[in-house]
């Protein structure tokens, strides 16, 4: 993964400015109204959460789900029947019960 923060160089939309000196930490500070450019290799099909480690940040909407290679997922992954049944059971239960949850659960 390559990351370029505001004010640290330039990005032309394709090439990372300094690929020989990648990010060394798993955290980045983004100034108010700033931005962060992230370049990842899309070589692992799935849905991946890209988020902060602070649970209430996720509840505030500071989370991104990256859908990587959706066609490969549709062609190669078959969801087990139990998954769909679990969703139906949850929908039936929550239709008659209040869920005692105040955040996203992540």
In degrees, to the nearest 5, what angle opens at C-alpha 48 toward C-alphas 34 and 90?
Answer: 115
Residue 10 lies in a domain: yes
Measured CA to CA, the distance from residue 67 to residue 5 in angstroms comes to: 23
Could you read off the pLDDT tens digit of each residue along the chain, which spans 106 residues? 445 555 555 566 666 666 666 666 667 777 888 877 777 778 888 888 877 677 777 777 778 888 999 888 888 777 788 888 998 999 999 899 988 877 666 6
Residue 104 lies in a domain: no
The position carrying tokens 């139990």 is 82
Residue 29 lies in a domain: yes
Residue 58 lies in a domain: yes
Residue 103 lies in a domain: no
14 token code pair: 């394709």
Residue 35 lies in a domain: yes
pTM score, whole prediction: 0.51
**Interval 5-28: pLDDT, tens:** 555 555 666 666 666 666 666 677
Measured CA to CA, the distance from residue 26 to residue 66 in angstroms comes to: 17
Q: Residue 57 belongs to what domain range?
A: 2-94
Residue 100 lies in a domain: no
Helices (H), 30-80: 55-59, 70-76
> What total of structural domains would you count in the chain?
1
CA 91 to chain centre: 25
């Amino acid at each position: 993964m390559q990351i370029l923060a505001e004010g640290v160089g330039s990005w032309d939309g394709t090439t990372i400015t300094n690929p020989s000196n990648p990010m060394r930490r798993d955290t980045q500070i983004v100034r108010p109204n700033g931005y962060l450019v992230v370049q990842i290799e899309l070589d692992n099909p799935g849905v991946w959460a890209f988020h902060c480690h602070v649970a209430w940040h996720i509840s505030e909407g500071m989370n991104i789900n990256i859908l990587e290679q959706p066609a490969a997922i549709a062609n190669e992954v078959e969801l087990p029947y139990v998954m769909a049944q679990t969703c139906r059971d949850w929908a039936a239960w929550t239709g008659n019960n209040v869920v005692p949850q105040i955040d996203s659960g992540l």
